Amino acid sequence: METMEEADGSTAPSAVVAALASAKQMSGKTFGEIAEETGLTNVYVAQLFRRQAQLKRETVASLRSAVPTLTGKLISEMMVPPFRSYRPNIIQEPAIYRLHEAVMHFGESIKEVINEDFGDGIMSAIDFYCSVDKVKGVDGKDRVVITFDGKYLPYSEQKSEHMVSRQKQQ
């Protein structure tokens, strides 16, 4: 994929990501509208268009229907396992900074509630769903609802007898 270096040394979005953004813009649809038509979450659709998630074969037809300007080449690119990464200076973007700040501020308490409710473990970021919703608060003002829906993964006690590498060959 082609990339361009910006003045600050960061890498600009790839030509593929730019082409995907253009196709979405030409559709005139939001990530939410595309999500409704494909059965995906709005954040996952955004991940697909940023090449941060892989398009699965069973979703191709509904995505093509939702965004008819996606070319066969772009669909093929979306089906390749992506290189999931982020630009280190992305934290300077105010919305991302505030999200990071919220997780850092509430993180220890969230961890304690997870441990209290589930036991010693973590939330998966692989078996994971994420969505962003807009609701009206009790004061009538718009509010952002971000849902992290991840599988609970308990830590395991590390017993030698369970290690395949330590079992005797038969």
- Could you list the active site residues? 98, 101, 124
Q: In this structure, are residues 30 and 62 in contact, taking their beta carbons and an 8 Å threshold? A: no
> Residue 11 CB: number of other CB atoms within 10 A?
11
How far from the centroid of its chain's Cα atoms is residue 15's Cα? 20
Q: How many degrees, rounded to 5, is the angle at CA 2 between CA 72 and CA 34?
A: 45
Residues in contact with 34: Cβ distance below 8 Å, sequence separation at least 6, in sequence order = 24, 27, 40, 42, 45, 63, 66, 67
Give the CA distances from residue 49 to residues 34, 45, 61, 163, in Å, rounded to whole numbers and listed in that order.
11, 6, 16, 40
- Per the DSSP assignment, residues forming a β-bridge with 5 are 11
